[in-house]
Structure 1
Amino acid sequence: MAQTVRGVVSRSKGAPVELVDVVVPDPGPGEAVVRVQACGVCHTDLHYREGGINDEYPFLLGHEAAGVVESVGEGVTDVAPGDFVVLNWRAVCGACRACLKGKPWYCFNTHNAAQPMTLADGTPLSAALGIGAFAEKTLVHAGQCTKVDPRVSPEVAGLLGCGVMAGLGAAVNTGNVGRGDSVAVIGCGGVGAAAVAGANLAGATTVIGIDLDPRKLEWARGLGATHTVNASDEDVVERVRELTGGHGADVVIDAVGRPETWEQAFHARDLAGTVVLVGVPTPDMRIDMPLIDFFSRGGALKSSWYGDCLPSRDFPYLIDLHLQGRLDLGAFVTETIALDQVEEAFAKMHHGDVLRSVVVF
């Protein structure tokens, strides 16, 4: 029987979010209902509220979540009621051309629940990234549930659902950072700070955090940056070269996603180095550069989708590292909040006051 829970909804572009009744159907074939225990407030949720993703209002926001499977639909075998899971928005299909080539992290046909959750009056809700976890319970495709060690606290586990995985994976998976590498990260908010942590975890010996905000540079130092550059008063390209023997970094990660930061990343890398774009640009942004620059510098220019992660591989591994004391996921949690404080958390995020606010149920 369908359940009614409380959830955070965005009804129109730019309007404050509302805490309302949400109807969660029983799980159908391949689906699962998850009792949400914690959900991070991610910038992507703010993008949804501002109409930056699409205009399919109303949205049920929230996607960086962990919780316990309550019930499953027909045919579900990978998870069962009682399992502690982190939710993901790239539930691989196993059958598309990427999956069949052995690269499921590029899956072109990821799954979401077939049924919509609704408002009390029956209006269908668009679940943010197919999850909608600013709610006491949510309906997802079972493939969006990744089992992890239940000893981990939900408020840190859920962060792997988006921002931390995106940044950490940009370094480890997309950038292929290795032992002894030099890495520069432009933008040290939640995603960039995670990229710093990922570079450190992968064995980079020089990790340079770059930002305009001294608070974010301090966060980067706490997560393993060996050097920081304040872009408001230093030339980013020249400073990165100075810190890397005059050559440039082996890997430069743009966690901002603007033309000017991407060009900084391009020129701050060593010859044949790698640029990774993980910050999300807007559709109107353009770059005008001489083609000879691309040819003469060589190397690789990559975009990172969700840190090129495979949840079934990466989530349990990273949780294990956290439990062993080798990856401090708790460092990303600035504050824990109640469900009715999401709008306030958006304001703090917009002003750069937090790495992550996390809703705890």
Structure 2
Amino acid sequence: MPYEVQGVIARAKGQEVSLETVVVPDPGPGEAVVNVQACGVCHTDLHYREGGINDDFPFLLGHEAAGVVEAVGPGVTDVAPGDFVILNWRAVCGQCRACLRGRPWYCFNTHNATQKMTLKDGTELSPALGIGAFLEKTLVAAGQCTKVSAEAPAKVAGLLGCGVMAGLGAAINTGGVSRGDSVAVIGCGGVGNAAILGAALAGASKIIAVDVDDRKLAWARDFGATHTVNSRENDPVAAIRDLTGGFGADVVVEAVGRPETYEQAFYARDLAGTVVLVGVPTPEMKLELPLLDVFGRGGSLKSSWYGDCLPSRDFPMLIDLFLQDRLPLDRFVTETIVLDQVEEAFAKMHRGEVLRSVVKF
């Protein structure tokens, strides 16, 4: 029997979200219904509301979530009712050319639930990143459920579902940060600070945090930054070069998603260094660089999709590190809120007042 629950809906570009009744169908083949226990308020949700992803309104927002499986459909064997899971938005298929070549984190055929959640009048909803978790129960593909230890609080575990995993993975998986490397991170929100934490975890010797907000730079110190640069007051490229013997950083993570900060990252890296773009740009943004400089500097220019993570591998490992007090995921949670405070949380996020607001159910 379908469930009726309250969910956060974005009906039109730039319009404030509303709390409305959502109809969640029983799970079909390969699907699962999950009781959401906590869901982080991620900047990507705001991108959806602002039309920065696509225009498939109305959207059911929320995707950075953890909870307990309530029911599964036919053919589901990897998870069962009662399992504590983190939801992921890259459920790998195992059959595409990337998966068959042993690179499932690049899966080209990730899948979502086949059925649609709807409003009471039958209007189909577009779930954010194929999840839609600002509601008490959500319908997902079973492959979007990654089982982890239930000892972890949901408000912490859910953060691996998007932002924290994106930043950690940008440094460790995509950037390949290793012992003794110098690393710069431009943009010190939730994703950027996760990249700083990842660089510290990997053994980077110098970690330079760059932002326009001293409050965020103070957070960056807490996550392992050895140096900070306020780019309102200082040229970040010159500052990063000064701090790295004039060479530039081995790895620069751009966690803003803007052409001007990407250009800073490009020129702030060492020759043959690596730039990792993990900040999400909007469709109208353009980048212009002298092609000779791209050729002459060598190295790697990479984009990091979801931190190039493999949820089945990375989520349980990172939760274990948290439970061993080796990964301070709880520091990302600035506040816990209830469902009707999501719009207010967007405003706080836009003003840079929080790392993460987390909805608790």
Distance, in Å, in 2 between the alignment partners of 1:47 and 1:283 is 11
Equivalent runs, 1:38-53 vs 2, <5 Å: 38-53=38-53
Letter in 1 for 2:354: V
Distance, in Å, in 1 between the alignment partners of 2:187 and 2:348 is 17
* Gap regions ≥5 residues in structure 1: none
User: Could you tell me how far 1:111 is from its partner in structure 2?
Assistant: 0.7
Q: Partner of 2:86 in structure 1? A: 86
- Structure 2 counterpart SS, 1:319: helix
Letter in 2 for 1:304: S
Letter in 1 for 2:160: L
Distance, in Å, in 1 between the alignment partners of 2:294 and 2:281 is 20
Letter in 2 for 1:176: G
Q: Partner of 1:266 in structure 2? A: 266
Q: Partner of 1:145 in structure 2? A: 145
Q: Partner of 1:8 in structure 2? A: 8
| TM-score, reference length from structure 2 | 0.99
CA contact (8 A) 2:240 2:268 kept: yes
Deviations 1:3-49 (A, max 9, x none): 11111111111111111111110000000000000000001111111
Q: Partner of 1:249 in structure 2? A: 249
User: Could you tell me how far 1:53 is from its partner in structure 2?
Assistant: 1.1
Q: Partner of 1:218 in structure 2? A: 218
Matched, 1:56 2:56: yes
Q: Partner of 2:30 in structure 1? A: 30
Distance, in Å, in 1 between the alignment partners of 2:265 and 2:92 is 31
- Structure 1 counterpart SS, 2:262: helix
Distance, in Å, in 1 between the alignment partners of 2:65 and 2:209 is 27
CA contact (8 A) 2:53 2:283 kept: no
* Gap regions ≥5 residues in structure 2: none
Q: Partner of 2:71 in structure 1? A: 71
Deviations 1:133-153 (A, max 9, x none): 000000000000000010000
Deviations 1:283-331 (A, max 9, x none): 2222222211112111111010010010001100111111111110011
CA RMSD of aligned residues (A): 0.7
Q: Aligned residues: percent identity?
A: 76
Distance, in Å, in 2 between the alignment partners of 1:56 and 1:330 is 34
Distance, in Å, in 1 between the alignment partners of 2:141 and 2:285 is 34
Distance, in Å, in 2 between the alignment partners of 1:224 and 1:169 is 16
Q: Partner of 1:287 in structure 2? A: 287
Distance, in Å, in 2 between the alignment partners of 1:74 and 1:181 is 48
Distance, in Å, in 2 between the alignment partners of 1:237 and 1:117 is 47
Deviations 1:103-135 (A, max 9, x none): 000001101000001111111111111101000
Deviations 1:43-82 (A, max 9, x none): 1111111111111111111000000000000000000000
User: Could you tell me how far 1:263 is from its partner in structure 2?
Assistant: 1.1
Q: Partner of 2:336 in structure 1? A: 336
Deviations 1:232-281 (A, max 9, x none): 11111111111112211100001011111111111111111000011112
Distance, in Å, in 2 between the alignment partners of 1:9 and 1:227 is 41
The answer to which of 7-16 and 213-222 deviates more is 7-16
Matched, 1:121 2:130: no
Q: Partner of 2:131 in structure 1? A: 131
- Runs (4+) of structure 1 exceeding 6 A deviation are none
Letter in 1 for 2:214: P
Letter in 2 for 1:173: N
Matched, 1:231 2:231: yes
Count of aligned pairs between the two proteins: 361
Letter in 1 for 2:91: A
Distance, in Å, in 1 between the alignment partners of 2:86 and 2:163 is 13
- Structure 2 counterpart SS, 1:280: coil
Q: Partner of 2:18 in structure 1? A: 18
